[in-house]
Amino acid sequence: MLDPALLRSRLAETAERLKETRGFTLDVAAIEALESQRKQLSTETQELQNLRNTRSKAIGQAKGKGEDVAPLMAEVAGIGDKLKANEQALAEVQAKLAEISLGLPNIPHASVPLGQDENHNQEILRWGTPRQFDFPVKDHVDLGERHGWLDGEAGAKLSGSRFTVMRGQLAHLHRALAQFMLDLQTGEHGYLECNVPVIVNADSMLGTGQLPKFEEDLFATQVGDSKRYLIPTAEVPLTNLVRDTIQEADALPLRMTAHTLCFRAEAGSYGRDVRGMIRQHQFEKIEMVQVTRAGDSYAQLEEMVSHAEKVLQLLGLPYRKVLLCTGDMGFGSAKTYDLEVWLPSQNTYREISSCSNFEDFQARRLQARVRNPETGKPELVHTLNGSGLAVGRTLVAVMENYQNTDGSITVPEALRPYMRGMDKVA
């Protein structure tokens, strides 16, 4: 959520910036009209409250003197009725302003390149050299169907399209990747391991920005009288751990990580991505979340990206780092880096991690704050999150990059301790 001050005192500038960077048209006239009503109703409500208090005191004084208080009591009753109507009208106006605010994307950081789509993203670096194969390359689906280890038909039978069953050594390799990533982020990079719910309430989804804008992309369930949601990423529960809290400055940055199932409805077709494990309704991810003071968040963003890169480097997977342009960034992000891993079957790089600084966009929704040690006053924190990494997509990259002519898959050295010393998935 944007700072309300931007919509009150810098509305035209904010509208221009949103149009320039996000292609988002802000209804300035509607906001100005609502803000005018809010101010008028707020002033009238305060005046009525003061008048009621004054008349109530007068009733007490009149009673003390034995005077007739009926006219005063009738006046106070009338003031009360008007006050109630004003308070209701004010609440309705404030709700409309809040609804508009919740639908506004974050304003990108000044360092983010302008652009409309992924074609305007800025490549920062490439690491590793894609392998040259002396045999026809298979994609991960063909490799996984060996021995029935990757079974989309079984997944569809159990749950529908875009669900997959893994078996045998491939399921073991998938589990090994998750454990390797989690050990790296906790053991070397200082993240606190958390085990969090994968079903959360609407307040949690609202806090991190999935609601109300992206409800159609979520899986939901009804629990009693309340609606609950399956998490699209552990960003939601991890970030919400600081909702409605005031952190002490010396406790920041908080670094948290979790290995969870993730669920995304994502209506629509994605062509080749529907085949296999590139875009599933259910998948696993190692999520990284950081909570920082405002002045530290961009240094922490660079650090977080390096933590995701380290996974790919240790696995020997070629990748590139990309700074997303304004038109390709997520709704709540102020700056985002994507890591894209090389997939031989597609002869291109595909996203495997996205690391973002949300500045105080989520914190304002969450009321997540830190106490300024100099003033003693609470200030909004900055929140960051990123994949470290998406486990299924990493499995795809390992399978394709480490495939052999007979269809077996060489196990990267970093994973062999997690595979009981196995050097090949055959």
Instruction: DSSP for 268-317, please give it.
Output: S--GGGGSTTSS-SEEEEEEEEEEE-GGGHHHHHHHHHHHHHHHHHHHT-
Angle between helices 28-64 and 11-22 (to 10 degrees): 140
Helix (H, G, I), strand (E, B) or coil at 151: strand
- Cβ neighbors of 244 (< 8 A, separation 6 or more) are 366, 367, 368
> 22 an active-site residue?
no
Q: List C-alpha distances in Å: 162 to 138, 157, 263, 366, 389.
A: 20, 11, 11, 33, 20
What is the C-alpha to C-alpha distance for residues 126 and 130, in angstroms, rounded to an integer? Answer: 10
Judging by DSSP bridges, how do beta strands 219-223 and 226-230 pair with one another? antiparallel
**CA distance linking residue 186 with residue 388, whole number of Å:** 11
Does the annotation count 306 as an active-site position?
Answer: no
What value does the CA radius of gyration of the chain take, rounded to a whole number of Å? 27
Distances (CA, A) of 72 to 81, 233, 272: 14, 60, 77
* Residue 239 near residue 385, CB atoms below 8 Å: yes
| CB proximity list for 147: less than 8 A, separation 6 or greater | 167, 168, 169
- Reported residue count of the chain is 426
Task: Round to whole Å and give the CA distance between 78 and 180.
Answer: 70
Measured distance CA(26)–CA(101) in Å, rounded: 10
Q: Which of 351, 371, 379, 416 is catalytic?
A: 351
DSSP secondary structure letter of residue 252: P
> What distance in Å separates the CA atoms of residue 418 and residue 172, rounded to the nearest whole number?
9
- Is 393 designated active site? yes
Cα separation, 245 vs 142, in Å, equals 49
Asked if 290 and 304 count as a contact pair (C-beta separation under 8 A), the reply is yes
272 is an active site residue: no
Please say if 175 is a catalytic residue. Answer: no
Retrieve residue 118's tokens: 């992924």
**Strand 348-357 to strand 165-166: parallel, antiparallel, or no bridges (unpaired)?**
unpaired
State the catalytic residue, choosing from 255, 279, 293, 365: 279
Give catalytic residue positions: 264, 279, 351, 354, 393
